[in-house]
Chain A
């Protein structure tokens, strides 16, 4: 098992009383509630936390992209990944991911990702996402073409990285007379690609296709759902005639470690619940704009919408396996059991969430890296774990 420190960079200084006047922290909450003085401190604190991740032995550091929201003040993961590129030396830098269909000019991403891959001499992990539904409200891009644009932008970026340029790109959504990016990626043929998703069948099938074999990453979800989606990926791979090794599967989950189970729950509770029930909350119209998912999946998701839009407590989240929380021994057991069951090769630990302050975040990181990670590395057989399980 490999460990990536995943940071969402929430606007933790949000005035929660003022924000309560709005149904969601996305798109509609006015940005006068963002204070640049506080934001500047948060950006630097969060980058410090990611840099500390390398010192503590994490294999990778991950950033992501969301727009117009207090949930994460990282509209450009390129900026945060670039800031990390020269301040770190060994850790992989994972962009999870760039929302390629939002771009009218996705070649900029082919260029920027290649630059970071060059600057880090091959430490970049590239991630491609469609962005969640709210992004289509924030960015104006048409959700009805989200799938088409995702596929075409992806194909074009891969072509830009692998086909000798210059060449012409003439697609449905993108047209370029000259595709000839300087630089080319440092890693050949291109950086490894991870595909984070909330579990869309279309995405799982696409990532598992033998033309791609991309690492599938399940984002924040109940354990049962994670298990089902990871299994779905393995089954899709088997149907395509190849065996998915453990390192083709990843799971992003918030984790909190403290001196005892009781202390962990007490300390994490308000911050986790702000993350889950205030920052992540949004109306279904925002989460699933028309066309974002196929009509069939839309009907299924609409049925499960209570799960997405209703509040849940820390205790429920722990019971559902959406959050690992407790003493080091408890968290070792929780993750160990999940690993034995699912053989997931990449754990993306979200060790800061919601309003969790700097001191608690740092203590959480040190306890996780010192008392949980080594035990899990041993359990999963270290570097050879993936190969053995496969």
Chain B
């Protein structure tokens, strides 16, 4: 079974998304991180035949153009709310990684009425304080790969993959939109943590124990700000569990969705 490409217009701008199992329920909406949706597709494919999966290319990422109104993380969150309402998604299991996790948190603070549960994986969004974080913008593309996964052999395999011109254009655009949304303040919204208590749906925080972009202390701090949330650490895993340990992550997320 493969994803079907679709398009939806949000606030006047087309948003490309992929869908799997349109007739299945419940629905899992996946918000990708700074690197885009493509690398998460094999992980999401593990839910084929079990869940309806929807994977938008966030505005300015992948095949979704960069709309004139996209200036900050709040614009991205409101666009996702519009997207959810346009598709009339309900009882939704929202899953976001990294930047997508941050957008999921911003979205849920504003309106969680359509969510059955929330899962954030290595999510940005809160003030790091003195927790040492990596600088995605200072790292070269190669360093990014090496530092985002825990297993050096996996890094080598990723670096050896050929890149089509379209993929390299998309990578450049993704990095550009990431800067637009995350450069300053660096990967956080100073006001977000004041309102995280508004998220009252069951919330799961998943973190790679060897995350070098947002180390595990950052995950603990985030979980502490989300009342009643569950924290799961993944041993031997860096910032990209969906790439590094897709089976273990699918098991964690699958169990969570069934229990919620």
Contacts and interface: CB of A to CB of B under 8 A. Distances in A.
A298 interface: yes
B43 interface: no
A380 to B, nearest CB: 44
Contact of A295 (B139, B172, B184): B172
B78 interface: no
Interface string A283-311: 11110011100010011000000000000
Interface residues of B, number: 15
A298 B174 CA distance: 14
Contact of B180 (A144, A284, A295, A298): A144
Contact of A291 (B139, B140, B169, B180): B180
A283 to B, nearest CB: 7
B172 A298 contact: yes
Given A142-B184, A295-B172, A299-B172, A286 B138 contact: yes
Contacts of B178: 290
Nearest to B179: A290
Q: Classify chain A: how many residues form its interface, as a range.
A: 10 to 19
B179 A289 contact: yes
Nearest to A27: B138
A298 B171 CA distance: 13
Contacts of A284: 140
Contacts of A286: 138
A144 B184 CA distance: 10
A137 B178 CA distance: 15
Interface string A57-88: 00000000000000000000000000000000
B137 A289 contact: yes
Interface string A145-166: 1000000000000000000000
Contacts of B139: 285
Contacts of A290: 137, 172, 175-176, 178-179
Interface in B152-197: 169, 172-173, 175-176, 178-180, 183-184, 186
B223 to A, nearest CB: 28
B1 to A, nearest CB: 34
A285 B184 contact: no
Contacts of A289: 137, 179, 183
Contacts of A295: 169, 172-173, 176
Interface in B176-225: 176, 178-180, 183-184, 186
A36 interface: no
A contacts with B: majority SS: helix
B138 A137 contact: yes
Contacts of A299: 172
A140 interface: yes
A143 interface: yes
B176 A142 contact: no
Nearest to A286: B138
Interface in A320-337: none
Interface string A129-147: 0000000110011111100
Given A284-B140, A285-B140, A291 B176 contact: yes
A295 B183 CA distance: 17
A96 B200 CA distance: 54
Contacts of A285: 137-140
A132 to B, nearest CB: 15
A15 B173 CA distance: 39
B168 to A, nearest CB: 9
A284 B138 CA distance: 9
Given A283-B140, A299-B172, A141 B184 contact: yes
Contacts of A291: 176, 179-180, 183
A137 B186 CA distance: 11
Nearest to A140: B184
Output the residue of B140, B175, B176, B178 with the most chain A CB within 10 A.
Answer: B176
A288 B183 CA distance: 14
A144 B181 CA distance: 9
B138 A142 contact: no
A298 B169 CA distance: 11
**In the complex, the 6 A-B pairs of residues with the closest C-beta atoms, listed nearest first:** A144-B180, A290-B179, A142-B183, A290-B176, A290-B175, A142-B184
20 contacts: A137-B137, A137-B138, A140-B183, A140-B184, A140-B186, A141-B184, A142-B179, A144-B176, A145-B180, A283-B138, A284-B140, A285-B137, A285-B139, A286-B138, A289-B137, A289-B179, A289-B183, A290-B172, A290-B176, A291-B179
Interface of A: 28, 136-137, 140-145, 283-286, 289-291, 295, 298-299
Given A289-B179, A291-B179, A298-B172, 15 more contacts: A136-B183, A137-B138, A140-B183, A142-B179, A142-B180, A143-B179, A144-B179, A145-B180, A284-B140, A285-B138, A290-B137, A290-B175, A290-B176, A291-B180, A295-B172
